[in-house]
């Protein structure tokens, strides 16, 4: 999106040292925004944030009500991206509850008492569970199969409630399998694409859970960031939830030939037992609503996005 402009605007990004958050921070800063990052560095890292941009970093958690209130009061916009991910949430549901639900409530309570222009809450396609209809539209019935999906949906519902009850200008976006630069394969919580890249580069058979025929809607991080910022800037997003994806369904096993070509290697997967979590057979999102209402659509194809991700990985490896 070429017309993103935050000149003179103060933007708070919770979880801004994470994978998607750090990419969004860089985009806002380069669009003229005065960025404040709130992150407890549980899974994020300050190394993710580009060193050539200006930003204020606050180490802390969204569970700290007073800290959140102070930071939100100073902001024009809030991108609320801080969360415990699905693996951590499954291991410790109480922590998931405190951060994903309690932290979101803290952000919304602070926004209710401020003159905030808009809050965008980042949710997940995991709230759909195993859908009955493909591609999945926003009005598909939700089926929460994990503590993470429960807390993400609860956060959405708090957003709706604060919009309807108090007029808080908030919207939500549902991410689908975001990948790209800064998704560190050495991080145990990273996604499947990063794990595949690391394995192929080290001549290790990539592990596939089950038969590899399960599908996902893989979304390049720049597209996810653009969609999030579009929702943050547009008054048409208020009170709404939007799918962010590509509308393209890809089998997990079909990633390997593409990545193999990028590395110039023949890749044979090692099939292992199904995962204990996120055992969703098919996932692809219907993105017609965000396309028509906010005039957003993805720009990066899977092959192009994988190419950019591999290039980032190799350049980072060379720089070590």
What CATH number corresponds to the domain at position 274? 3.90.25.10
Q: Structure pTM?
A: 0.96
313: phi then psi, degrees, rounded to nearest 5: -60, -45
Residue 278 is predicted with a pLDDT of 64
Buried-exposed string 29-68: b where 16+ CB fall within 10 A, e elsewhere: bebebbbbbbbbebbbeeebbeeeeebebbebbbbbeebb
Residue 318 is predicted with a pLDDT of 84
Residue 1 is predicted with a pLDDT of 46
- How is residue 285 annotated by DSSP? B
Residues 95 and 207 in one domain: no
Residues 236 and 256 in one domain: no
Please return the burial class of 123, using the count of CB atoms within 10 Å of its CB with bins 0-12, 13-18 and 19+. buried
Q: Which residues are catalytic?
A: 148
Residues 173 and 260 in one domain: no
With CA atoms as reference, report the closest residue to 216 among 184, 263, 248: 248
Residue 228, domain member (yes or no): yes
Residue 187, domain member (yes or no): no
Residues 137 and 203 in one domain: no
Whole-angstrom distance, CA of residue 259 vs CA of residue 180? 13
Residues 238 and 152 in one domain: yes
The per-residue pLDDT for range 200-252, each reduced to its tens digit, is 999 999 999 889 999 999 999 999 999 999 999 999 999 999 999 999 999 99
Can you list the positions of beta strands (E) in 40-148?
A: 55-59, 77-80, 118-124
Give the angle 151-157-163 at the CA atoms, nearest 5°: 140
Residues 224 and 235 in one domain: yes
Domain hosting residue 273, numbered range: 192-215+249-284+305-315
Q: Which residues of the chain have pLDDT under 50?
A: 1-2
Residue 262 is predicted with a pLDDT of 97
Can you list the positions of beta strands (E) in 200-254?
A: 207-209, 215-216, 219-220, 241-244, 250-251
Residues 37 and 87 in one domain: yes
Number of Cβ within a 10 Å radius of residue 138: 17
147: phi then psi, degrees, rounded to nearest 5: -55, -35
Provide the domain count of the chain: 2
Residue 186, domain member (yes or no): no
C-alpha 104, offset from chain centre:
15
Residues 17 and 147 in one domain: yes
- 180 is written with which tokens? 């790209």
Residue 3, domain member (yes or no): no
Query: What strand order describes the sheet that includes 118-124?
Result: 55-59, 34-39, 10-14, 77-80, 118-124, 170-175, 241-244
Residues 69 and 154 in one domain: yes
Residue 188 is predicted with a pLDDT of 62
Yes or no: say if 137 and 289 are a contact pair by the CB < 8 Å rule: yes
Residue 276 is predicted with a pLDDT of 62
């Amino acid at each position: 999106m070429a017309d993103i402009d935050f000149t003179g605007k103060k933007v708070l990004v919770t979880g801004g040292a994470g994978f998607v958050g750090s990419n969004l921070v860089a985009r806002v800063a380069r669009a003229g925004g005065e960025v404040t990052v709130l992150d407890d560095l549980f899974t994020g890292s300050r190394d993710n944030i580009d060193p050539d941009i200006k930003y204020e970093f606050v180490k802390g958690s969204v569970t700290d009500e007073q800290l959140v209130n102070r930071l939100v009061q100073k902001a024009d916009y809030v991108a609320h991206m801080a969360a415990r991910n699905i693996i951590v949430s499954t291991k410790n549901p109480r922590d998931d509850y405190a951060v994903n639900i309690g932290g979101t409530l803290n952000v919304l309570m602070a926004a209710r008492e401020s003159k905030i222009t808009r809050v965008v809450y980042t949710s997940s396609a995991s709230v759909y569970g195993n859908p009955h209809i493909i591609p999945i539209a926003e009005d598909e019935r939700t089926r929460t199969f994990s503590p993470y999906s429960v807390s993400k949906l609860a956060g959405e519902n708090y957003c709706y409630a604060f919009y309807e009850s108090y007029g808080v200008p908030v919207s939500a976006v549902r991410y689908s399998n975001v990948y790209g630069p800064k998704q560190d394969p050495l991080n145990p919580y990273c996604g499947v694409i990063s794990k595949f890249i690391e394995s192929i580069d080290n001549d290790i058979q990539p592990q596939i859970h089950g038969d590899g025929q399960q599908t996902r809607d893989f979304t390049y991080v720049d597209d996810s960031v653009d969609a999030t910022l579009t929702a943050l800037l547009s008054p048409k997003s208020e009170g709404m939830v939007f799918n962010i994806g590509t509308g393209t369904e890809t089998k997990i096993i079909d990633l390997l030939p593409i990545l193999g070509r990028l590395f110039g290697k023949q890749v044979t997967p090692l099939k292992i037992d199904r995962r204990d979590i996120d055992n969703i057979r098919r996932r692809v999102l219907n993105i017609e609503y965000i396309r028509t209402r906010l005039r957003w659509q993805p720009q990066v194809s899977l092959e192009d996005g994988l190419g950019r991700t591999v290039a980032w990985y190799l350049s980072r490896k060379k720089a070590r």
